[in-house]
Structure 1
Amino acid sequence: MATVELRFSALPEHVRTARLVAAAVARRAGVDESVLDEVRLAVGEACSRAVGLHRRSGIDGAVRVKLVEQEKRFLIEVGDGVGSKQDVDVHSTDGAGGEDAAEAAMGLAVISGLVDDLDISNDEDGGVVRMSWPVAVHPVLP
């Protein structure tokens, strides 16, 4: 089982890099070519959401992306230092915050439309969006 981990500053310009890396690792892991756009979009949404949460909460820590090649699944975890969707909603009670909560909820809705296997939870470092896709029996090698 191979794992690639990325950590990047919570800046929007780094989201594109995370998307490109995720698509390349997914291809290598054996994710079907027809699903790679969904992987790219879902990772982009999850990373953009994490960047937004960091910026709105004033957190300086890195956004975490873990790409895991499993035997039958390709798993991606995007972690933030803020917390779960429920934590975001609790912190977003004023006018601007309400818009932020709606934006975060929209991002999760987009992700759920792209990913069949989605879990949103917390770990010891904050919120985590876990997504996975099936892989072919024989991964595509470079």
Structure 2
Amino acid sequence: MAEQKPQADVIRLTLPNQTEYLGVARLTVSGIANRMGFSYEEIEDIKLAVGEACTNAVIHAYKGKEEVGFIHIECQVFPDRLCIEVSDQGIGFASELIPEQLTPIFAGRDLDDLDEGGLGLYLIHTLMDEVVIRSEAGVAVSMTKYVRRDGVAGDDWTNSETEV
């Protein structure tokens, strides 16, 4: 008998490639991650990574084209992980990422001067457990965050309380 692969629930969202809709993407993944049992901090990390990927698409994907284009977000919900892919059909980038694209901040730039999207791919790699970037017809950023069951997030705060 062949082993079955775990089935995922799939949620797909297509948004206009406009900054006004980035909050919808963050809110959607936040709700999914909350339902899965991620901690508050992990949900914030996921929202930030998705926000960065979407911001990169808004800024870079359809540069120079008249049509607005779309950002596609697909969330695959597995029992042990959340896989999120943010993709567009815009302008891709070179097939090999240069090291500077994965560094946090260029020398001389103050952290307060960075807008969302300013930390880019480095931040996405830092916040998520696995990241795969493809650039064929557009760009697809696949991000995975694993649910940590060994240290249940809800139990940590009860151990740190002091008796009055």
1:32 Cα deviation (Å)? 3.2
2:76 pairs with 1:68: yes
Among candidates 31, 35, 39, match of residue 28 of structure 1:
35
Partner of 2:86: 78
* Aligned positions, number: 123
Relative to structure 1, is the Cα distance of residues 71 and 81 closer, same or farther in structure 2, using a 3 angstrom cutoff?
Answer: same
Q: What CA distance in whole angstroms lies between the structure 1 residues aligned with 2:130 and 2:51?
A: 17
How far 1:28 sits from its partner (Å)?
A: 1.1
Match of 1:130 among 115, 119, 142: 142
Q: Structure 2 counterpart of 1:108, which letter?
A: L
Q: CA deviation at 1:104?
A: 7.2
Unaligned runs of 5+ in 1: 90-102, 138-142
Rg: which structure is higher?
2
RMSD value over aligned CA atoms? 2.6
Tell me, in whole angstroms, the C-alpha distance in 1 between the residues paired with 2:78 and 2:12: 14
Question: 1:10-49, aligned counterparts within 5 Å?
Answer: 10-49=17-56
Counterpart position of 2:15:
8
Query: Which protein has greater RCO, CA pairs closer than 8 Å, 6+ apart?
Result: 1
Q: Percent identity, please.
A: 28
TM-score normalised by structure 1 residue count: 0.74
- Mark the runs of 5 or more structure 2 residues left unpaired by the alignment: 1-7, 98-115, 150-164
TM-score normalised over the length of structure 2: 0.65
- Offset at residue 113 of structure 1 (A): 1.7
Contact conserved, 2:61 with 2:91, CA < 8 A, in 1?
Answer: no
Runs (4+) off by over 2 Å: 29-34, 82-85, 103-106
Contact 1:31 1:74 in 2 (8 A): no
